[in-house]
Amino acid sequence: MTGPRTVLVLGGTTEGRAAAAELSARAGVRVISSLAGAVRSPRLPEGEVRLGGFGGAEGLARYLRAERVSAVLDATHPFAAVMTANAAAACARTGVPLVVVRRPGWTPAPGDRWHRVGSVAGAAAVLPRLLPAADGRVLLTIGRGGLGAFAGIDATCWIRAVDPPDPPLPRCHTLLLDRGPFTLDAERELLDRVRPHVLVTKDSGGDATAAKLVAARERGIAVVVVDRPAVPAGVRVAGTVREGLDLLL
Ligand code: NAP
């Protein structure tokens, strides 16, 4: 007699929670959601949950074997590039099928003043030419990783993140501890209060944090958009959870 199919969902995102809910409702499927454990009080998905890193690709491969995982859905954030690379390597090593869910990135609309850069370091490098010579103001909405790149910036920064970030941080900064989804009215109010010359964001895609782009467009605020890292070559990619599960199961 065969047991249930075990699907590992690499999560920490809206898509991860949606996948867990969908799989939990299916007969003959055991779903395990994995979260990095980086957020103090994460939103938990339905079903079984494990927290914390696996110990690199090697550790994940061991985990896949130990839990007899039959398929992996990588629904991590588009910028969780290390986890996705590890999933690709571990699944290739163990022969476990893998699909990566990548929500589409954002696209600019008329009136947007976007500056696309390849990395968070690139975002920091482009800021001096977008800021006034004195009293520059920057709103950083890239989460709490990578903020060290802005440590040397000669500007006042506002940092929005779910949990307090670790140093190094910009010399002059104010923390805005908050978690999306953010409404357009709330984003308008924030931009009117902070009055940034530049908003910095990752190209996360999705609806939960897109309103800031509309509010910035309305106010003519420059936006530095960090491009997503590429998905490892040869890995199957789906645009939605439904498409990902159809490919995988
Ligand atoms: P990352 O840089 O790609 O991964 C760093 C390490 O964290 C990985 O090597 C792995 O440790 C561990 N890890 C990451 N995601 C994991 C998961 N779902 N389950 C178990 N271990 C995980 O990842 P990150 O950018 O720090 O993101 C961490 C988590 O936050 C992810 O679940 C992601 O979906 C979520 N998230 C990230 C962002 C973002 O902007 N990066 C935004 C929203 C949510 P081991 O090598 O020890 O296995």
Q: What's the topology of domain 113-226? A: Rossmann fold (3.40.50)
The reply to whether the predicted model has a pTM over 0.85 is yes
Q: Compute, in angstroms, the gap from residue 36 CA to the centroid of ligand 1.
A: 5
Contact 11, 45 (CB under 8 A): yes
Q: Compute, in angstroms, the gap from residue 130 CA to the centroid of ligand 1.
A: 31
Domain boundaries, the chain: 5-102+230-248, 113-226
Tens of pLDDT along the chain (249 residues) come to 467 799 999 999 999 999 999 999 999 999 999 999 988 889 999 999 999 999 999 999 999 999 999 999 999 999 999 999 999 999 999 999 999 999 999 999 999 999 999 999 999 999 999 999 999 999 999 999 999 999 999 999 999 999 999 999 999 999 999 999 999 999 999 999 999 999 999 999 999 999 999 999 999 999 999 999 999 999 999 999 999 999 999
How many residues appear in the chain?
249
Which atom of ligand 1 is found nearest the CA of 75? 34
Domains 5-102+230-248 and 113-226 share a fold: yes
| Residue nearest to ligand 1 atom 11, measured at CA | 53
| Residue nearest to ligand 1 atom 6, measured at CA | 83
**CATH class of the domain defined by 5-102+230-248:** alpha beta
Tell me the two tokens of residue 88: 């690709």
How are beta strands 5-10 and 71-74 bridged, if at all?
parallel
